[in-house]
Amino acid sequence: MTGSERPAARAAEVPSPLDPALAARLKRNADGLVPAIAQQYDTGEVLMLGWMDDEALHRTLTTGRCTYWSRSRQEYWVKGDTSGHVQHVKSVALDCDADTILVKVDQVGAACHTGDRTCFDSGQLPLEQ
């Protein structure tokens, strides 16, 4: 399998690399993906949202670096490989429904591709009360 072939697209051919109990718990969308929230481990700051399939989650759990599936490029990407803005994994958890992954990381540099610290730095919406 090359770096850009998706296991989810070949589910019948490629077994999940995850522990079977974990793979059975995950609730994936129609594309075989689960949203993954990256949060700074020591401050609680929400950094970004990415997408993981079984292979990306497996790589994240086994390498200590966040690996995501790029929906636009249709390939895996390891946060920081091109930018140097690495996410060192501290812990990984599933929410109560097993349809969202929370990855607590030690973020080096900006988390957002725009160069902002987080992907939520410029999107403050006004509250109507």
Global pTM? 0.86
81 labelled binding-site residue? no
C-alpha span between 2 and 10 (Å, rounded):
13
95 labelled binding-site residue? yes
- The CATH class for the domain spanning 42-118 reads alpha beta
Q: What are phi and psi of 68, to 5 degrees?
A: -125, 165
The residue extents of the domains of the chain are 42-118
31 labelled binding-site residue? no
C-alpha span between 73 and 120 (Å, rounded):
22
Residue 21, helix vs strand vs coil: helix
> 97-110: per-residue pLDDT in tens?
999 999 999 999 99
66 labelled binding-site residue? no
C-alpha span between 128 and 82 (Å, rounded):
40
99 labelled binding-site residue? yes
> What's the whole-number average pLDDT of the chain?
90
C-alpha span between 35 and 92 (Å, rounded):
13
